Amino acid sequence: MKECYFEISSGMYDEPFTAFGTYEEEGDFIKYMWRERHSEKEQTSDFSLMLDKRTRVCSVTRNGDINSIMNFDPENETRGSLNTAFGIIDVTIRTNYVNVPTQLSNGVEISYVILAGETEPVKNTFLIKRLLQSA
**pLDDT grade for 133, boundaries at 50, 70 and 90:** low
Taking the C-alpha atoms of residue 38 and residue 25, their distance in angstroms, rounded to an integer, is 28
C-alpha angle 60-36-72 in degrees, rounded to nearest 5: 15
Q: For domain 2-134, give the fold.
A: Lipocalin (2.40.128)
Sign of the C-alpha dihedral, residues 31, 35, 36, 41? Answer: positive
pLDDT digits (tens, 9 = 90+) for 16-54: 999 999 999 999 999 999 999 877 887 899 999 999 999
Taking the C-alpha atoms of residue 61 and residue 69, their distance in angstroms, rounded to an integer, is 4
Distance of alpha carbon 96 from its chain centroid, rounded? Answer: 14
pLDDT digits (tens, 9 = 90+) for 113-122: 999 988 899 9
> Whole-model pTM?
0.89
Among residues 51, 61, 68, which one has the least CA distance to residue 109?
A: 51
